[in-house]
């Protein structure tokens, strides 16, 4: 019975650790995509202000 309890405990710990890594990955993608969007908007505004696009 002790082995089963230890296996269940280690499985639960590994699953929670994997979920934590997934959250970090999602956060990285969110930050990167937000940065790209802001950069594109800034580039568009700069190009309009300098009359590069008519």
Structure tokens at 11: 């499985």
Q: Is the pTM of this model over 0.85?
A: no
Q: Give residue 3's pLDDT.
A: 72
Q: Give residue 48's pLDDT.
A: 87
23-54 residue pLDDT tens: 677 888 989 999 999 999 999 998 888 876 65
Q: Give residue 9's pLDDT.
A: 74
| Contact call for residues 9 and 17 (beta carbons, < 8 A) | no
Q: What whole-number distance in Å separates Cα of residue 11 and Cα of residue 51?
A: 60
Contacts of 47 (CB under 8 A, 6+ apart): 53
- Measured CA to CA in angstroms, residue 8 lies from 4, 22, 47 at distances of 6, 21, 59
């Amino acid at each position: 019975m002790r082995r089963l309890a230890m296996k269940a405990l280690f499985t639960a710990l590994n699953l929670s650790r994997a979920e934590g890594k997934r959250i970090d990955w999602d956060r990285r993608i969110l930050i990167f995509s937000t940065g790209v969007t802001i950069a594109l908007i800034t580039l568009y505004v700069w190009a309009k202000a300098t009359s590069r696009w008519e």
